[in-house]
Structures are given as C-alpha cells and as structure tokens.
C-alpha cells in the first residue's frame, strides 16, 4: 500500500505531512521507545501519538479516509 504523498522534511526530527507537523519527541527510557506526535497545522493541537513516524502517517491516512 503506497502513499500518494511523502513527508516533507523541515528539520531534525520535524516533518510536514497532509496538513500535520510530525515531530520526534525523543527517546523515553521508561518504555524504551521514541515517540512521535502529529500537530494539526490549522488548529495547533496535537491530534495523534505513535511509536514510529510510519505508524503516525498510517493513522493520519486512516483518519483522512473517515472524513
């Protein structure tokens, strides 16, 4: 399953994808994962959390299908 778009890199750990800014929140030792967040560019609110950028993009794609 391919994506129509790819994430555009804005800086270190920051990407733009379908109206969202994807940001790497860093490595958390308590769960040994790197967390990512998606911030809606229009509203400025965090909409999604995920353990990988790929998973975050899949959540955004799935949400777009529901709208």
Per-run averaged pLDDT (10 residues), the chain, 67 residues: 75 94 85 88 95 94 83
Q: What pLDDT is recorded for position 1?
A: 45
**Measured between alpha carbons, how far is 32 from 47 in angstroms, rounded to an integer?**
22
Q: What pLDDT is recorded for position 67?
A: 66
Query: Which is nearest to 51 in space by CA: 30, 24, 15, 16?
Result: 24
Q: What pLDDT is recorded for position 49?
A: 93
* Strands of the sheet with 33-40, listed across from one edge: 8-11, 14-17, 20-28, 33-40, 46-50
**Measured between alpha carbons, how far is 12 from 64 in angstroms, rounded to an integer?**
26
Q: Is the pTM above the cut of 0.75?
A: yes
């Amino acid at each position: 399953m391919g994506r129509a778009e790819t994430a555009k890199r804005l800086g270190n750990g920051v990407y733009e994808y379908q109206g969202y800014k994807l940001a790497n929140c860093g490595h958390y030792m308590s769960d040994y994962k790197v967390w990512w967040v998606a911030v809606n560019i229009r509203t400025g609110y965090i909409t999604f959390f995920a353990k990988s950028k790929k998973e975050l993009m899949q959540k955004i794609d799935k949400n777009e299908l529901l709208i």
